[in-house]
């Protein structure tokens, strides 16, 4: 019998399911899939429709029900919510340096089954287990939105309605195009940051220069290099985290040395120990038939503003670089597997333009006008390519709008139902 527990206003129930590692080989090796059902207290026996939440990432475990996500209380007014830990994350069978095959080729082959197409097939097995033949609703945030578009492409019969926030992918946009559009957006967010904190130009330069001249070690013993320091700009795209770098920098030095508090804070931001799949598969989620070949690293050369030794420090964003697998101890054992994934050129298609053009599932999507992570123009082209999709373009929210304000989900639900 599934285990349950209570939180204020909620009842949570665990669901575990074995799914094929390779859905094309249902009799082959299996992995565990975990999902947490959440229902409003007192409505456990109500005939509520299901809402599957697909988390951002790749490699992100589902939101935990006590995390304060503003969308969840709003959704619980109408649905029985399912928080699925996508394969390889959270309480599903983990994919980490401790669990992946030791042979790089075997590890890369294993990881080839962890993109959106496999996640959708997992979701369909869960749906049949929990909802039978009834279609359910899906809410996709960021990469979860990418998965939702794959769901509409591969298994629209499983969906009653779909909601997307900050996650309409370019249907044919490859990794090079993704990063060629992303670097200017990150530069714009740098300018917004330094306009708010002009004194941080000198503070960032002082830290960068200190790191270039000294062998500075993070609490785990790995070195903090200038280029790794630059990756702290990944927080700029979230309103909840935009200011985090400033509060690190204002306590950066203890005398002439970088402070323990600063190094501890930086370590929490730059380590991929808790999310290795993000680093391993981030470029692969954009691949359909071609290799990424470390696109973010190659395209970075077109933007000298991001050079580690440039006059002004400019922080990078949602980019994964091959040297991560040298400098991050959690990734170092996976370096060769990551290289094989970067060179893989036979990734299958994730989206079906024909099925999307004939879509009959009600879909509403929030497109954040100044989203640092997902290109607005790509999103709008995809919105136009999905029949019946209702887009909401807004500059009121950053990429984390869904988590920040319950009205985002409420509006999308009303839009999908023709109420606004």
Answer yes or no: is pLDDT of 134 > 80: yes
**pLDDT over 90 percentage in the chain:** 99
The pLDDT tens digits of the residues spanning 45-87 come to 999 999 999 999 999 999 999 999 999 999 999 999 999 999 9
* Active-site annotation holds for 346: yes
> Residue 1: pLDDT above 80?
no
Of 162, 179, 191, nearest in space to 374 by CA: 179
Quick one: average pLDDT of 259-279?
97
Do 352 and 329 contact (CB within 8 A), yes or no? no
Q: Say yes or no to pLDDT of 41 above 80.
A: yes
* pLDDT tens per residue across span 281-293: 999 999 998 999 9
For position 246, what pLDDT does the model report? 98
Confidence bin at 2 (pLDDT 50/70/90): confident
From 133, 215, 346, 395, active-site residue: 346
Q: Which residue has the tokens 């029985």?
A: 80
Q: What contacts 24+ positions apart, CB below 8 Å, involve 238-246?
A: 238/398, 238/399, 238/400, 239/397, 239/398, 239/400, 239/401, 239/404, 240/400, 240/403, 240/404, 241/400, 242/193, 242/398, 243/196, 244/269, 245/193, 245/200, 245/315, 246/193, 246/196, 246/197, 246/200
15 is catalytic: no
Helix (H) or strand (E) holding 14: strand 10-20
- Whole-number average pLDDT of the chain: 97
Considering the candidates 142, 271, 292, 379, report the single residue annotated as catalytic: 142
Give the ranges where 14-58 is alpha helix by DSSP (H).
Answer: none
Kindly report, residue by residue over 374-413, the tens digit of the pLDDT: 999 999 999 999 999 999 999 999 999 999 999 999 999 9
Q: State CA 309 to chain mean position distance.
A: 29
**Superfamily, domain 4-171+351-416:** Alpha/Beta hydrolase fold, catalytic domain (3.40.50.1820)
* Predicted confidence (pLDDT) at residue 420 exceeds the cutoff of 90: no
Tokens 């994350």 map to which residue? 89
Write the DSSP assignment of 193-208 as a string of letters: HHHH-TTHHHHHHHHH
State residue 72's pLDDT score: 98
CA 64 to chain centre: 15
Whether 279 has a pLDDT exceeding 70, the answer reads yes
Question: Dihedral (C-alpha) 151, 156, 353, 364: value to the nearest 10 degrees?
Answer: -80
CA distance 24 to 28: 9
Q: Would the pTM count as exceeding 0.95?
A: yes
Question: How is the chain split into domains, by residue range?
Answer: 4-171+351-416, 175-343
3-class SS at 41?
Answer: coil
CA distance 220 to 357: 50
Residue pLDDT, tens place only, 310-356: 999 999 999 999 999 999 999 999 999 999 999 999 999 999 999 99
Q: pLDDT tens, 102-118? A: 999 999 999 999 999 99
pLDDT tens per residue, range 140-195: 999 999 999 999 999 999 999 999 999 999 999 999 999 999 999 999 999 999 99
What ranges in 30-158 are assigned the alpha helix state H? Answer: 71-76, 104-111, 116-131, 143-154
Summarised one tens digit per residue, pLDDT across range 206-231 is 999 999 999 999 999 999 999 999 99
CA distance 378 to 174: 11
* pLDDT confidence bin for 417, thresholds 50/70/90: very high
Residue 23 is among the residues annotated as catalytic for this protein: no
Q: Which one of the listed residues 189, 210, 282, 399 is annotated catalytic?
A: 399
% of the chain residues with pLDDT over 70: 100
What are residue 223's DSSP bridge partners? 217
């Amino acid at each position: 019998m599934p285990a349950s527990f209570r939180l204020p206003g909620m009842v949570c129930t665990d669901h575990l399911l074995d799914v094929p590692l390779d859905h094309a080989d249902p009799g082959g090796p299996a992995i565990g899939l975990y999902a947490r059902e959440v229902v409003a207290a007192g409505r456990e026996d109500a005939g509520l429709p299901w809402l599957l939440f697909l988390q951002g990432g790749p490699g992100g475990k589902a939101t935990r029900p006590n995390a304060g996500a503003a969308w969840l209380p709003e959704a619980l007014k109408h649905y029985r919510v399912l928080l699925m830990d996508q394969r390889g994350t959270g309480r599903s069978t983990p994919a980490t340096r401790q669990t992946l095959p030791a042979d790089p080729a075997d590890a890369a082959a294993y990881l080839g089954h962890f993109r959106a197409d496999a996640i959708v097939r997992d979701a369909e097995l869960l749906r049949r287990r929990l909802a039978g033949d009834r279609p359910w609703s899906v809410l996709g945030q960021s990469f979860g939105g990418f998965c939702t578009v794959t769901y509409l492409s591969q298994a629209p019969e499983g969906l009653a309605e779909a909601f997307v926030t900050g996650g309409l992918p370019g249907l044919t946009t490859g990794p090079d195009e993704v990063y060629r559009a992303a670097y200017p957006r990150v530069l714009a967010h740098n300018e917004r940051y330094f306009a708010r904190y002009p004194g941080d130009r000198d503070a960032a330069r002082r830290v960068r220069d200190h790191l270039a001249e000294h062998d500075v070690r993070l609490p785990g013993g790995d070195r903090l290099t200038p280029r790794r320091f630059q990756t702290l700009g990944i927080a700029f795209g979230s309103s909840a985290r935009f200011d985090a770098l400033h509060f690190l920098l204002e306590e950066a030095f203890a005398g002439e040395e970088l402070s323990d508090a600063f190094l501890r804070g930086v370590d929490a931001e730059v380590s991929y120990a808790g999310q290795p799949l993000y680093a391993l598969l981030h470029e692969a989620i954009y691949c359909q038939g071609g290799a990424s070949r470390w696109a973010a690293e190659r395209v970075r050369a077109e933007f000298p503003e991001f050079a580690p030794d440039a006059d002004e420090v400019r922080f990078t964003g949602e980019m994964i670089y091959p040297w991560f697998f040298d400098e991050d101890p959690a990734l170092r054992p996976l370096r060769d597997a990551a290289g094989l994934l970067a060179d893989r050129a036979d990734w299958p298609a994730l989206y079906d333009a024909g099925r999307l053009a004939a879509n009959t599932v009600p879909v509403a999507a929030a497109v954040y006008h100044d989203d640092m992570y997902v290109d607005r123009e790509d999103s709008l082209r995809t919105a136009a390519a999905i029949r019946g999709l209702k887009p909401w373009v807004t500059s009121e929210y950053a990429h984390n709008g869904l988590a920040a304000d319950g009205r985002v989900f409420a509006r999308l639900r009303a839009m999908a139902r023709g109420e606004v």
